Structure 1
Amino acid sequence: MIIYNVTTNVDESIHEEWLSWIKEHIPHVLATGKFTEAKLTRVLVEEEMGGVTYSVQYRAKSREDLQAYYKNHADNLRQEGLKRFADKTLAFRTELEIIDEYSVTFN
């Protein structure tokens, strides 16, 4: 399994608009069929640059699925966000390989 993580710092002036948009954007990314799930999280560390930081973690079954996403879908899906929020957001992307998973169950 691969996690494709997109971390975005969002300027306070467009925070609510961006948050509404990303909640619509994530289903479009999932609709590509290259990911099995996504999680939207808020980063709880305050940034020196200000703003609010979020992380979207998309889970892919394989590196090949992620590469197919890059090749066939990523540019088009990124363009909408760039057109609307380019000068008010800063994003970086990370690829993570899941080595093992653990969970705790409570009775």
Structure 2
Amino acid sequence: MILYNVTVNIDSDVEDDWIGWMKDIHIPEVMDTGFFMEYRMMKMLSEGQDDTGSTYAIQYMAETLGHLETYLNTVAPKIQKKSIIRYGTKMAAFRTVLEEV
């Protein structure tokens, strides 16, 4: 199993909108691609709450690295662009890929 982790820091002033958009639009769009079997959306609690925003981890599980690579090469740029257009500099994201052992 391959875990594709997207860590996002979102500004406080758009956080509620972002959460709704992620749950109602973005994550369903990613899942509808068929490349992932399940997902989790987690909020990081180990950091202090302040004016800079909150950090979330969205974890998508793919059956194989091939599934993930196909997603990243064919679908991801278009889906990621929607996030950038909607939230711009109000969010920062980085991605990691992990393999279950």
TM, length-normalised to structure 1: 0.88
Q: Deviations over 1:55-106 (max 9, x none)?
A: 000000000000000111000100111001011001000000000xxxxxxx
Q: Higher Cα Rg: structure 1 or 2?
A: 1
Alignment match, 1:5: 5
Aligned letter for 2:85?
K
State the identity as a percent.
38
Which consecutive residues of structure 2, in runs of 5 or more, have no partner in the other structure?
none
Aligned letter for 2:77?
D
Rounded to whole Å, the distance in 2 between the matches of 1:32 and 1:2 is 16
- 1:25-104 correspondence runs (5 A): 25-46=26-47, 50-99=52-101
Which consecutive residues of structure 1, in runs of 5 or more, have no partner in the other structure?
100-107
Rounded to whole Å, the distance in 2 between the matches of 1:70 and 1:87 is 22
Higher relative contact order (CA 8 A, sep 6+): 2
Rounded to whole Å, the distance in 1 between the matches of 2:73 and 2:96 is 17
Rounded to whole Å, the distance in 1 between the matches of 2:14 and 2:38 is 26
Secondary structure of 1:7's partner? strand
How far off is 1:50 after superposition? 2.6
Rounded to whole Å, the distance in 1 between the matches of 2:92 and 2:46 is 16
Rounded to whole Å, the distance in 1 between the matches of 2:95 and 2:40 is 15
Task: Please provide the CA RMSD for this pair.
Answer: 1.3
TM, length-normalised to structure 2: 0.93
